Structures are given as C-alpha cells and as structure tokens.
Amino acid sequence: MNKALLALEDGKVFEGRSFTGDCETVGEVVFNTSMAGYQEILTDPSYCGQMVTMTYPLIGNYGINPDDVESEKIQVKALLIREYHEIPSNWRADCSLASYLRAAGIPGIEGLDTRALTRHIRLKGAMKAALSTMDLCPDSLIEKAKSAPDMQGLDLVKEVSCKEPRVWEADRLVPINCSLSDFRWPENRGCFKVAAFDFGIKYNILRSLERRGCDVLVIPGATGQEEILKLEPDGIFLSNGPGDPSAVTYAVDNIKRLLGKKPIFGICLGHQLIGLALGGRTFKLKFGHRGGNQPVKNLITGRIEITAQNHGFCVEMSSLNNPGIELTHINLNDGTVEGLVHKEIPLFSVQYHPEASPGPHDSAYLFDRFIEMMELQRGRKNN
C-alpha cells in the first residue's frame, strides 16, 4: 500500500494508505455516519465533487454487487476510511470494494484517523482538501486544497444530469431515441405519468415511483417548462443533486413557471430549488447532514422519523414570507427546515431521502402522498 496524505485548506494534515494505487485529487471533505450502504453512497450523484469519510470504522466487508448502485458510476472524488476489509463475505458480492474503486479510478484511502477528521470537520466545518500519494509535501498539498473550487456558488448539476431524456424501464434508464416533442407515453402500463427532473437522481427514487404504478420519464435538469407541459404529465418530480442550489438559476426559473400547473414533489436539492422558486433563500450548513440516522419531526402528525440525508445546503425558513407556505418537518438535531407544503397549490418537498436504500424506511409514505396528490388533481380535471 502507498502512503497518502490528506491536507485540508486550514492546514490540518492526515496520513493514511491507499488501497487502490497511486492517486491525487481535490474536493470538499465531508463525513457520513451510516453504518452500512457504502456502495449506495459511492454512487449517489449528490456526492459529486466531494471526498467522503465514513465514520463507521470497518468498510468493504460485504463487497460490491450490481444491484445496489444509485447511478451509472461512482460519483465521489475519494473514499476515506479507517480500516479496509479486503475479503468480502456476502453471497451477493461479485467483486471487492478495492477492485470496484480501482476500475473507476477513484482513490480509496485507509488508515486515516477518521474520528479525528470527523471531529475536526464538526468543529471547523466541511472544507476543501487535497489528497495524494505522489505529492507528499504538506505545504504543497495545502496550497492545492486552497486552490480547489469552492462548493458555494458551484453548479454541479451540469456534471451529473442526463444529456438526453430517458425512461425508467426494467430497473434501468433507457434512451427514448426521439426528441422530447415526439415522445409518447407507454399505453396501458402505468397509472400515472411522471416527468422527473434529473439534477442527480438516484435509482431508488425511480424504483419507488415505479412500484407505485408510475411511468417515469427522466429529463435533463435544464429542460424548459414549455417542453414539460407539452408532455402532459400527471406530476413533476424534482430530484436530489450536488452543489449550491442558488447556482442552478435555470432550474429555479423553470420551477417558478411550473408552480400550480402540475402536482410537484421535490427531494433534497429539489426541495431547496422549490424554496428558491418560492422567493426564499438557501445557506450552507457548517458540516451538513449525511447519514442514515437523522431524526426528523413531522409537525403535522407529531411523529418522529429516522431519515437518511445527504445535503450541505438548507432552506432559510424566515426568508419564505408567502402565507401559503407551511413548514411540515424539522431536523431535531439543529432545528433546520426538513419539509414544506403549499396550502393553495399541489406542491410539497422534503430535505431528506424517503427512498433511502438500504434504509431507514420511515418516510416512504411520502411517495404515496405524491400519488394521492396526482389522483386528486386528476379527479378535479375530470370533473
């Protein structure tokens, strides 16, 4: 194994070992508190531009399988862990974590003091870093970290969004092989037609919609509202994604024009974009919410839900002055906004991930709520 250095922009340096070969990269360092699901984390497009530190110490023990991916490729800049388990023990695994990372050219670093790194981020905030096995000069790496792109003001949707429309079919995305204006929905298949904006959409969102009888057309994040309305979908879904929501101005402009036209459900970045479209503001959290154990209170029912989350930005509730907007969910760790609903138009959103894979599944009911919203809207249209 090759010696590796991780240098943060504030001058803090951590030493580890690469279990994937020589490497050098820069990105924002964040941590995830999930005890399982590293394959889903690696392939979550919301992590584009970030190096992920796993707080759970033993990673790699159940290997990699072809079924648990959340996108077409690994999205993280690097995986930072305490101890790598080389030999997977899982009947579903078809390769090791190291070989999976190596094939994609993504660094895997073990031997890091991940507790110290996580504590440093909690105290100082998520920050830019440089990782290398080739440049082992701390001062040089610190300068590279400082020169890396800042997450604030960065539009990463353009990096992860699909270039052409695709349909979700047989557990994969299939090109439509025609222009959007020529697209026709499948006949006699799904109960509802959903146009899903791809800002970095996760596969399990598509699976969750499909299981509830939806035909899903995944469209590029910059698709115009006129093109979408011509498709006559029953509902519009706004996906998760990476980067600063305030930089995705084209999406905000489109959402503004879609408000009230069709039922809309937004998750994570989609939720933040809705907040901006409603006239609000977003801000960057100190170290973000990332993990499968975030407690959220549903203010409508009073129930507490354990949720999976992955976001570094948040909607500022005080900036939403529209009396038609209601706060529906809050994070119990820091009181930040976790969900919104509009009282006058068919629109709701949450900051967390109800499609969470491998879990928890406390919030899966939100997809049923979207179905109910489309049913109600269809009933009004028919009457």
Active-site residue list = 268, 353, 355
E-strand stretches of 146-209: 166-169, 172-175, 192-198
CA 176 vs. chain centroid, Å, equals: 24
Radius of gyration (C-alpha) of the chain in whole angstroms: 21
Query: How far apart, in whole angstroms, are the C-alpha atoms of residue 92 and residue 311?
Result: 29
Query: How far apart, in whole angstroms, are the C-alpha atoms of residue 277 and residue 309?
Result: 22
The CA-atom distances, in angstroms, between 358 and each of 61, 190, 249, 296 are 16, 26, 32, 18
Backbone angles phi and psi of 110, in degrees to 5: -120, 175
Residue positions counted in the chain:
383
Where b means 16+ CB within 10 Å and e means fewer, 360-382 reads: bebbeebbeebbebbeeeeeeee
Region label for 234, one of left (φ > 0), alpha (ψ between -120 and 50) or beta (otherwise): alpha
The structure tokens listed for 122 are 């909690």
The structure tokens listed for 333 are 């760790």
